[in-house]
Homo-oligomer: A and B are copies of this chain.
Amino acid sequence: MIIQRLQQQIAFIVEVDKIKQIYRRNYVIGGERHETDAEHSWHLAMMAILLAEHVADYPLDVLKVIKMVLIHDIVEIDAGDTYCYDQKGGLDKEVREQAAADRLFRLLPEDQAQELWSLWDEFEQRVSLEARFANALDRLQPLLLHYNTEGKSWQLNGITSDQVIDRNKLTKEISVELGRLVEEIIEDSIRKGYLKTPQEKALFEA
């Protein structure tokens, strides 16, 4: 018989397989289907490795950032994906996600449950440099997908440029270069008609 500690770890590893069936609002590039949370998290981890050097207060703890982005959406297994522009769904998001964290992390041995919970909490609080970078990536990655799918999901959900600018302002605070990238993508998205300004949307709906 394997030791209980390993049994608990495997129970968690098997349970979080469900993150592969949580679909996000955005599409994979060139694809017809929505991205899963597992795919999104993989992409963020890759970005953390490659883009960390652009953070103003570099070096930062890249391993910590990677751990955060790998686990940041696990709670959606129970709580579901709350669309970032969904104000109503946002209201009870915290309560639903805390309950999910409680159930999921407790599958693990106590010390690992504590570590993951604390990483998730740090990500949500957005105070440390690592958490702020992880959150910036969590906004930049979908921006790249929206841009490379001609804004399909923005249009389907009636999103306007002011909302996207507001959601991505964190990036500029931690990195001049990444902030510039975000600005360029948003400007070009407006230019190409992928993303409407509030004025354009008002005109369109008038």
Footprint of B on A, CB under 8 Å?
Answer: 1-3, 6, 9-10, 12-14, 16-21, 28-31, 35-36, 38-39, 41-43, 45-47, 49-51, 54, 62-63, 66-67, 70-71, 108, 112, 144-145, 148, 177-178, 180-181, 184
Q: Can you list 5 A-B contacts with CB-CB less than 8 angstroms, sorted by A residue number? A: A12-B50, A38-B39, A39-B42, A45-B66, A63-B66
Contacting residue for A50 out of B3, B51, B112, B177, CB 8 A: B112
A130 → B minimal CB distance (Å): 13
* Cross-chain contact A2 with B180 (CB below 8 angstroms): yes
Contacting residue for A16 out of B9, B21, B46, CB 8 A: B46
Main secondary structure, interface of A, reads helix
Q: A2-B177, A54-B6 are in contact. Are A45 and B21 (CB under 8 A)?
A: no
Q: A38-B42, A66-B66 are in contact. Are A50 and B13 (CB under 8 A)?
A: yes
How many copies of this kind of chain does the complex include?
2
Expressed in whole angstroms, the Cα–Cα distance for A181 and B10 within the complex equals 10
* Cross-chain contact B42 with A70 (CB below 8 angstroms): yes
CB neighbours (8 Å) of A1 from chain B are: 184
* Cross-chain contact A17 with B145 (CB below 8 angstroms): yes
Q: A6-B177, A20-B35, A20-B39 are in contact. Are A14 and B46 (CB under 8 A)?
A: no
CB neighbours (8 Å) of A66 from chain B are: 45, 63, 66
* Cross-chain contact B70 with A46 (CB below 8 angstroms): yes
CB neighbours (8 Å) of A31 from chain B are: 20-21
